[in-house]
A and B are shown apart, each in its own frame.
Chain A
């Protein structure tokens, strides 16, 4: 439908043009953060929203991406761009190794297992001297420019790279959603046993989901490393990060394409606002807001904001919400 395509292009055009209007560097940084969170949310959604395998351990992939590209850069001088692909590949292999036994687990057992895996990884990295242990790794910033993936003078290049990564991730999600994989994932999410009965190999397709999800999440990790120029286990592998990533999708609408983007926007805004008003997140106000939001969403709007908007829109059109599949 024509109506579907236009908003997408409009938003894209707006996003490309935004830095011309938003010239304040800290506002630009805010937008970059939104896009980076959104990218992670969309990547998470492929596994958690589409295929229904809720992970609270995605920081593991993020951290693997960040550490892989950083270590390749520091120790072998490998370009961060190659490092990004390498990081994604390592994360994907790790995901396959972990996923294969863990996908036997259902529901909350799986969710807890993802927390366990990510926490174990964080503990290991915190005590592993060769990768910097708790002290972390600093990235070289002398070389600048696109090839070095470091930009000191202006943050604008990061903006467009983040936008590019976000668009790439959204396109990947959209392609999956509209392919046979989209049908299989939803079937696995709704009724795994029935899916098996029509020939869907659950483990194989869950592994497909986690491969794509982990690769893209890891790529986000590399971007983070190149932007912040410092990584340590606490900043790239913490469970709190995993929760935030999942939260973007939960809030925006698990299983919808743009839900995580909306959710990321709101969450990042909350973080910034509470930081401005209460000065630093040490006071827990952002946590209180997050908690309330999660609760309200979980209890009243399990399909997130996008789900709520859809239902409201359908009511306006005079139809019972959920009576016709929108796809």
Chain B
């Protein structure tokens, strides 16, 4: 099965600081990959490189057979890569429906059709009752789901989720896990950065572990859990 996303030898430097170094992995269509590692391991930097917010200093990113290294975020969105933000960035003066509509407008500029599609995305994420509420008045958990709905509005092939489960109570974590499962059954691949292990270990097909900017392990959740390098990395942080 040819990969949907290929990251080859990716590196990112900020001045003298090396945030990512020689990272290589691939994501297959409809696959869920968890990206974990201690704080400061470079997960969000890698994320931002793939999403187009930082141009990599070296290496290649190939999406859907296309070379997209250094492509801008709006270009990546057009190609089918959607993302959420760690610190929620919903359009605060716009309603939930309008938030998602901004995304659905990408593929069809007709407002009525875009609104319908947006409503569907809201329903998929369980937010249809809150469609007309201004985003600033939603709870944080709702805003997180709104970001997911908005990302889904792009009809992406790959969804990048940045710590969407942080600060959620166990019930909310289970809801989020279920949502990711539904997303996968739609045929959308997910790259998920997470700290909440109960949220990612049960659903990921593969786990990629970063430490000090490098990839130190990759495998199934069971394999990674027992990998000595991974254990050392987390213990070393404590």
Direct contact of A and B (CB under 8 A): yes
Q: Is B225 an interface residue (CB 8 A)?
A: no
Chain B residues with CB under 8 A of A46: none
**Complex Cα distance A194/B153, Å?**
13
Task: State how many residues of chain B have any CB contact under 8 Å with chain A.
Answer: 36
Task: State how many residues of chain A have any CB contact under 8 Å with chain B.
Answer: 26
Given A190-B93, A196-B73, A325 contacting B132 (CB threshold 8 A): yes
CB <8 Å contact, B94 and A187: yes
**Complex Cα distance A167/B15, Å?**
54
| Bitwise interface map of A from 217 to 254 toward B, beta carbon under 8 Å scored 1, else 0 | 00000000000000000000000000000000000000
CB <8 Å contact, A322 and B89: no
Q: Is A186 an interface residue (CB 8 A)?
A: yes
Q: Is B145 an interface residue (CB 8 A)?
A: no
- Dominant secondary structure of chain B at its interface with chain A: mixed
**Complex Cα distance A190/B94, Å?**
9
Chain B residues with CB under 8 A of A327: 95, 98
In the complex, residue of chain B having the shortest beta-carbon distance to the beta carbon of A196: B73
**Complex Cα distance A199/B77, Å?**
5
Q: Is A11 an interface residue (CB 8 A)?
A: no
Report B164 CB to chain A, min CB distance, Å: 14
Report B135 CB to chain A, min CB distance, Å: 9
Partner of A199, one of B101, B132, B137, B154: B154
Chain A residues with CB under 8 A of B82: 197-198
In the complex, residue of chain A having the shortest beta-carbon distance to the beta carbon of B109: A180
CB <8 Å contact, A325 and B102: no
Task: Tell me the B residues contacting A by CB distance below 8 Å.
Answer: 51, 53, 72-74, 77-78, 82-83, 85, 89-95, 98, 101-103, 105-106, 109-111, 114, 132-134, 136-137, 150-151, 153-154
List 6 A-B pairs, Cβ < 8 Å.
A180-B114, A183-B111, A193-B53, A194-B85, A197-B85, A322-B134
